[in-house]
Chain A
Amino acid sequence: MGDKADVWQGTLALMILKTLETLGPLHGYGIARRIEQISGDLLSVNYGTLYPALLKLEQEACIESEWGVSDNNRKAKYYKLTRAGRKQLEREARDWQQAQAILAKFFAATEPST
């Protein structure tokens, strides 16, 4: 379980940060829905796992939270990207793209021999 959770945790954090960058301040439910919409049905995870990840990002000062009121007048906790979070997102996105590019090259190089 450990490995899978780590990968999920890492990518989940990145998805959260990207969502907040795109949509601005949002509550947990909204973030969950957004991730689900973007990924289609490929990612179907319990919404609950989102909250520890949000807490961790908040502890790392990448995001901050505040209680607010939703469009339809519900009380909800809104998460917002911080400056540090924005930098973190840039860095992680770069890392991710790099890793992806390297892997892509690997696949491109090995395909002909199979």
Chain B
Amino acid sequence: MSRVGNSLRAWFQRLAGLFGKQRRDAEFAAELESHLQLHVEDNLRNGMTIEAARREALVKLGGVEQTNEIYRDQRGIPFLETLWADIRYGLRIFRKSPGFTVVVVLTIALGIGANTAIFTIFDAVLLQSLPVHEPSRLVLSTDEISEGSYSGNPPTGRWQTFSTEVSDYLRKQPLPFQSLAAVRSGEATVTVRLADATPTGGPPERAQAHLVSGNYFSTIGTDAFLGRTLSPEDERLNAPPAAVASYGYWKQRLQGDPAVIGRLAYLNGTAFTMVGVARPEFFGERDRRPPDFWVPLVFQPQIELMPSRLERNDEYWLFLMGRLSSGATRAQAQAATNSALQQFLTNKEGSKLTDARKRGIARSHVEFVDGAGGISWLRAEYSRPLHTLLAVVAMVLLIACANVGNLLLSRAAQRQTEMSVRLALGGSRLRLIRQLLTESILLAVLGAACGLLLAHWAVNMLFALVARNSPVKPHLNAPVLAFTIVITVIAGILFGLAPAFSAGRTDLAGSLKAGMRSLTGDRKRVSATHSLIAAQIAISLVLLVGANLLARSLLNLEKQPLGFVQDHVLLVGISPRLANYKLENVAELYRNLYTRFSTLPGVRAVSVARYSPMSGSSSTHNATIEGRVKKPGEDLQVESIPVAPSFVEAMGMTLLQGREIGLKDVPGATEAAMVNEAFVRAFFPGQNPLGHRFGYGEPPSKYYEIVGVLRDAQFHDVKEKINPITFPALMQDTTQDALSSSIVLRTSGDPASMAATARQAVADVDPNLPVTGTRTLSNQIASTFDVERIAAELVSFFGGLALLLACVGLYGVVAQSVSRRTNEFGIRLALGAQSADILWMVLRNTMALLAAGLAVGIPASLAATQLLKSQLYGVGAADAVSFAIAAFILGSIAIVAGLLPARRAASVDPSVALRYE
């Protein structure tokens, strides 16, 4: 014990010995002096002369310098002291050439900043787990980001959503889950009125409510920040309504007041007791629309303002989230759940089972997916662009490293004499390499520090671009920091090695004799420099081609004809449901809105649609065509978008046949619907569909007569093909879904400026009717390309950055070679060469580098863009135009970068050049 203690203590002492060097040196000098004095006195006592006494004492002591050195080594830690000396020497060198240092540090900062920023976002979006206890034990029955429910027969394949009946059954079975929760497959917008709000507190606020089973919080693994979370007690049918507020809602809307626990909040008019506040970091299992309230499933009718789904066995509206028992695997849980599910279905249908149904039940199964990351909309949308961006910034870092490598190489040339002198004085080559490596790592560290600052700023900006409202918050955390440190050290070593070894190779006699300057330069060094430049040009080309392809895809997406006129349209979202409209009076509301908006100045046409175009919502049904026998296995899926009169006019669509839905299509009249071309192609090929009837469901509750055919128009995503769509009359709609919709206004002026007028017009009709948002149609369409736009913009940005870095590098190298060859140019000019010859000679060098870069870059780009294929639209991965544009941009900028120093070379005055040192 004491031995270990001793040596540990000794190390601490030596560490301390690194400081207070001067004082310690002085003390040791005093000790040696006292030693000599004592010895001399002794010698004098023994009868020596004073000179002999002193000489003898010095001889006996031995080499003072050597003693000092050994003493110093024993006192401190020689490795650290050398390192410290190298660092101080490096810093002194940097101070002497601030321009060089700033360029190098900034270049590294850009490279590392870009990498850290993108990796931070990558980490937050793709790698981070939910902020809950042991997220790795969570499994989900679905990872579909689309919300919504499905009604009809039980699925005969994978079950992603469940009815109340099935989910209740499974939750009671002894499955290998610590707990199994049922969660509504989406959020509901509700109105909120707080109990203590004044009666005239203005219109109610809106909030998102998420219906969950009582064990939701314990399953997902989080507890309450204040109060309590929901418990299985809250799920009982006669339980008092309880709600848990999110931290964000509590902070912003409830002023962070702890006293709200136990108070009432009226959600859609039903009084819920706020029993607790969730933890600050907790946002549920989805990142798209974080809930403001979590409410027990049993309150579905009150929260969704829809008939109860609790008793309906044909409504598949819940997904399952399980926390595995400790030691259980996902596969075990899945197998056990599958057999329970099949058992349930078999028992339930009992003697009615046909053979076909038996086979269907045997195919019914669940597929649990890893729930650690939740159901992430961000992950689904941005996974591919983020992978691309990570590759892009890695290339930027490579270019930055090549640039810095070149700068260091050229400095190594300038420091040749210094190195030679140090070698001549007995410095070992290894020691020189160590010094240079220390310097380059030091540069990398300085660059990384600036890069981190840059990244910190860039992350927030970039993340605001992709997901302003996302509850996922990227921050520079430990893995990100580790990642930065690793790339920094790799970068430091990477660009440190070349100069270090070239210094190690220094030919002593030669370079001391020749001094710094030689006419032809060091061939090896020049070829290293040239390969780095060619590599930079090649990488820049890859990035430019990629940026070009993405930009052209985006352009193709935006130019894609949609089948309607997107300019001059304002969409005004309304929610009659939240204003307590019922089926009986909603048709009248629509008529009143229609009348009010028709008279509004600046409005050329008005209509109402159940689903806002290009908003991503729709409803899909299995259609039945009257008089048509369904072929076995035939898929008659159609979309339904109920619309009010003048929809075709307001949207600027084209009516091909028949008439559009009009004012006469009211309850009581024949149910009318328009269909699109895709519908006609699918179900009435070569026939006139007008007058035929179809319905939703098998068998349908009622039939609609086809009164018009519309030219195909894209209502969702231009990247998808157009499905058969039906447009029944909104005012005849008797399904609950009719209770929220979007007013479509075709305006004569700027649609955005009509927003306030439109809100006022809605209020004129009914002051209690909430407007859920206003947006121009072109804006809404543009937002469907957000991912593509951001990817194209960022890749272009980094491509530009890469190009800039590469050209700065090219410029630096050419400029340096020009200044090195000033003498040579002087001689040439003196011997009768023309300026143009010199210009051309220098430019030829640049062109050779460019050609070499392109020769490598073109095949590299061809290979790289293959990986981009899935993100391209309407343009091939090997698109010749994109390649040509990229090569042209790169070529012209590179030539300009080469031309500037070339012109300087051509304009040298021979008499000056010959004397140039």
Contact = CB atoms under 8 A, between A and B. Distances in A.
Q: Do A and B come from one complex?
A: yes
B67 A49 contact: yes
A61 B6 contact: yes
Interface of B: 2, 6-7, 9-10, 13-14, 17, 28, 30-32, 34-35, 37-39, 41-42, 60-64, 66-67, 70-71, 73-75
B41 to A, nearest CB: 6
B61 A47 contact: yes
Contacts of A59: 9-10, 13-14, 17, 74
A77 B41 CA distance: 16
B28 A61 contact: no
Given A52-B71, A60-B6, A46 B38 contact: no
A70 to B, nearest CB: 6
B74 A52 contact: yes
A76 interface: yes
Given A28-B31, A29-B34, 12 more contacts: A27-B34, A29-B39, A46-B61, A46-B62, A47-B61, A48-B62, A52-B67, A55-B74, A61-B6, A62-B6, A76-B34, A76-B35
Nearest to B38: A29
Given A51-B31, A59-B10, A70 B38 contact: yes
A29 B31 CA distance: 10
A46 B35 CA distance: 13
B659 to A, nearest CB: 101
A27 B62 contact: no
Contacts of B34: 27, 29, 74-77
Interface in A11-28: 27-28
B5 to A, nearest CB: 9
Contacts of B42: 33
Given A49-B70, A61-B6, A70-B38, A77 B31 contact: yes
A56 interface: yes
A48 B38 contact: no
Contact of B67 (A51, A61, A76): A51
Interface of A: 27-30, 32-33, 46-49, 51-52, 55-56, 58-62, 70, 72, 74-77, 84, 87-88
A88 B37 CA distance: 32
Contacts of A32: 35
B599 to A, nearest CB: 96
Contacts of B9: 59-61
Contacts of B67: 46, 48-49, 51-52
Given A47-B62, A55-B71, A76 B38 contact: yes
A11 to B, nearest CB: 17
A51 B6 CA distance: 19
Nearest to B10: A59
B26 to A, nearest CB: 13
Nearest to B12: A59
B64 A84 contact: no
A74 B36 CA distance: 11
Contacts of B73: 52
A47 B60 contact: yes
B644 to A, nearest CB: 91
Nearest first, the 6 closest Cβ-Cβ pairs linking A and B are A46-B62, A48-B67, A59-B13, A48-B62, A59-B10, A29-B38
B668 to A, nearest CB: 103
Nearest to B41: A72
A32 B9 CA distance: 26
Contacts of A27: 34-35, 38
Contacts of B41: 72, 74
Given A55-B75, A59-B14, A60-B10, A47 B70 contact: no
Contacts of A75: 30, 34
B14 A48 contact: no
Contact of A48 (B10, B17, B37, B64): B64
A52 to B, nearest CB: 4
A26 to B, nearest CB: 11
Contacts of A77: 30-31, 34
B32 A51 contact: yes
Given A47-B60, A51-B32, A84-B2, A56 B38 contact: no
B135 to A, nearest CB: 50
B15 to A, nearest CB: 10
B13 to A, nearest CB: 4
Contacts of B71: 51-52, 55
A49 B42 CA distance: 20
A48 B66 contact: yes
Nearest to B66: A48
B35 A28 contact: yes
A93 B397 CA distance: 62
Nearest to B34: A76
A68 to B, nearest CB: 10
Contacts of B62: 46-49
B59 to A, nearest CB: 9
A60 B7 contact: yes
Contact of B2 (A28, A48, A87): A87
Nearest to B28: A51
Q: Which of A49, A55, A61, A62 gathers most chain B CB within 10 Å?
A: A55
A51 B61 CA distance: 10
A36 to B, nearest CB: 9
A32 B39 CA distance: 10
Contacts of A46: 60-63, 67
Contacts of B70: 49, 52
A27 B31 CA distance: 9
17 contacts: A27-B35, A47-B60, A47-B61, A48-B63, A49-B62, A51-B31, A52-B71, A60-B6, A61-B6, A61-B9, A72-B41, A75-B30, A75-B34, A76-B34, A77-B31, A77-B34, A88-B6
Contacts of A61: 6, 9-10
B37 A74 contact: yes
Nearest to A51: B71
Q: Which of A29, A56, A58, A77 gathers most chain B CB within 10 Å?
A: A29
A74 B40 CA distance: 12
Nearest to B72: A52
B7 A48 contact: no
Contacts of B64: 48
A48 B61 contact: yes
Contacts of B75: 55
Contacts of B66: 48
Contacts of B61: 46-48
A60 B66 CA distance: 23
Contact of B38 (A49, A52, A55, A74): A74
A86 B703 CA distance: 107
B39 to A, nearest CB: 6
B6 to A, nearest CB: 4
B77 to A, nearest CB: 12
Contacts of A70: 38
A56 B7 CA distance: 10
A72 B893 CA distance: 85
Contacts of A51: 28, 31-32, 67, 71
Q: Which of A27, A76, A84, A87 gathers most chain B CB within 10 Å?
A: A76
Contacts of B63: 46, 48
Nearest to B45: A72
Contact of A84 (B6, B32, B38): B6
A32 B75 CA distance: 20
Contacts of B35: 27-29, 32, 47, 76
Contacts of A28: 31, 35
A38 B28 CA distance: 26
B256 to A, nearest CB: 56
A93 B334 CA distance: 71
Contacts of B6: 60-62, 84, 88
A70 B73 CA distance: 29
Contacts of B38: 27, 29-30, 70, 74, 76
A74 B39 CA distance: 11
A33 B45 CA distance: 15
A39 B173 CA distance: 90
A55 B13 CA distance: 10
